[in-house]
Amino acid sequence: MATFYRCPNPTDWLCPCGRVARELRRRGVAYDEVRVPYRRSRRPEVIALSGQPRVPIVVLDGEPVCDSHRIVEHLRWRAGEPR
Protein backbone atom coordinates (compact mmCIF):
# COMPACT_ATOMS: atom_id res chain seq x y z
CA MET A 1 0.00 0.00 0.00
CA ALA A 2 1.27 3.46 -0.91
CA THR A 3 0.83 6.73 0.96
CA PHE A 4 0.04 9.78 -1.17
CA TYR A 5 0.68 13.25 0.28
CA ARG A 6 -1.16 15.91 -1.65
CA CYS A 7 -2.53 19.44 -1.47
CA PRO A 8 -6.07 20.09 -0.20
CA ASN A 9 -7.38 20.95 -3.69
CA PRO A 10 -10.75 19.15 -3.98
CA THR A 11 -10.40 18.21 -7.64
CA ASP A 12 -8.00 15.99 -9.56
CA TRP A 13 -7.74 18.28 -12.60
CA LEU A 14 -6.19 21.53 -11.42
CA CYS A 15 -2.81 20.65 -9.97
CA PRO A 16 0.10 18.19 -10.18
CA CYS A 17 -1.36 16.28 -7.23
CA GLY A 18 -4.38 15.47 -9.38
CA ARG A 19 -2.16 14.10 -12.12
CA VAL A 20 -0.57 11.71 -9.64
CA ALA A 21 -3.97 10.69 -8.21
CA ARG A 22 -5.25 9.87 -11.70
CA GLU A 23 -2.14 7.83 -12.50
CA LEU A 24 -2.35 5.88 -9.23
CA ARG A 25 -6.00 5.01 -9.92
CA ARG A 26 -5.25 4.14 -13.54
CA ARG A 27 -2.57 1.70 -12.43
CA GLY A 28 -4.69 0.20 -9.67
CA VAL A 29 -2.25 1.18 -6.91
CA ALA A 30 -3.94 1.11 -3.51
CA TYR A 31 -3.03 4.17 -1.46
CA ASP A 32 -3.85 6.15 1.64
CA GLU A 33 -4.35 9.82 0.92
CA VAL A 34 -2.98 12.51 3.25
CA ARG A 35 -4.07 16.06 2.45
CA VAL A 36 -1.61 18.61 3.77
CA PRO A 37 -2.25 22.33 4.41
CA TYR A 38 -1.65 24.91 1.70
CA ARG A 39 0.93 26.71 3.86
CA ARG A 40 4.30 25.04 3.41
CA SER A 41 5.34 25.96 6.93
CA ARG A 42 2.63 23.61 8.25
CA ARG A 43 3.88 20.46 6.54
CA PRO A 44 6.32 18.90 9.03
CA GLU A 45 5.54 15.32 7.98
CA VAL A 46 6.33 16.16 4.35
CA ILE A 47 9.59 17.84 5.32
CA ALA A 48 10.53 14.86 7.49
CA LEU A 49 9.94 12.48 4.56
CA SER A 50 11.62 14.36 1.77
CA GLY A 51 13.60 17.25 3.22
CA GLN A 52 11.44 19.78 1.37
CA PRO A 53 7.85 21.08 1.82
CA ARG A 54 6.42 20.54 -1.68
CA VAL A 55 3.80 17.98 -2.69
CA PRO A 56 2.94 15.60 -4.29
CA ILE A 57 4.90 12.85 -2.62
CA VAL A 58 4.16 9.15 -2.86
CA VAL A 59 5.74 6.68 -0.47
CA LEU A 60 6.07 3.29 -2.18
CA ASP A 61 7.68 0.38 -0.32
CA GLY A 62 9.01 2.82 2.29
CA GLU A 63 10.71 5.02 -0.31
CA PRO A 64 9.43 8.57 -0.90
CA VAL A 65 9.19 9.75 -4.50
CA CYS A 66 8.75 13.52 -5.02
CA ASP A 67 7.54 15.61 -7.98
CA SER A 68 4.61 14.59 -10.17
CA HIS A 69 6.78 13.88 -13.23
CA ARG A 70 9.12 11.63 -11.25
CA ILE A 71 6.21 9.84 -9.59
CA VAL A 72 4.50 9.10 -12.91
CA GLU A 73 7.82 7.97 -14.42
CA HIS A 74 8.47 5.74 -11.39
CA LEU A 75 5.01 4.15 -11.66
CA ARG A 76 5.59 3.45 -15.34
CA TRP A 77 9.01 1.95 -14.55
CA ARG A 78 7.45 -0.30 -11.89
CA ALA A 79 4.92 -1.47 -14.46
CA GLY A 80 7.71 -2.31 -16.89
CA GLU A 81 6.68 0.26 -19.47
CA PRO A 82 9.32 1.80 -21.76
CA ARG A 83 10.19 5.46 -21.30
Q: What is the mean pLDDT of the chain?
A: 94
What local confidence, expressed as pLDDT, does residue 14 receive?
86
**Angle (nearest 5°) at CA 57 between 51 and 63:** 75
At 20-47, the pLDDT tens digits run 999 999 999 999 999 999 998 899 999 9
Q: Is the pLDDT of residue 69 over 80?
A: yes
What integer is the mean pLDDT of 58-81?
94
In the chain, what are the domain boundaries? 2-62
CA-nearest of 60, 81, 80 to 71 is 60
CATH number at 2-62: 3.40.30.10
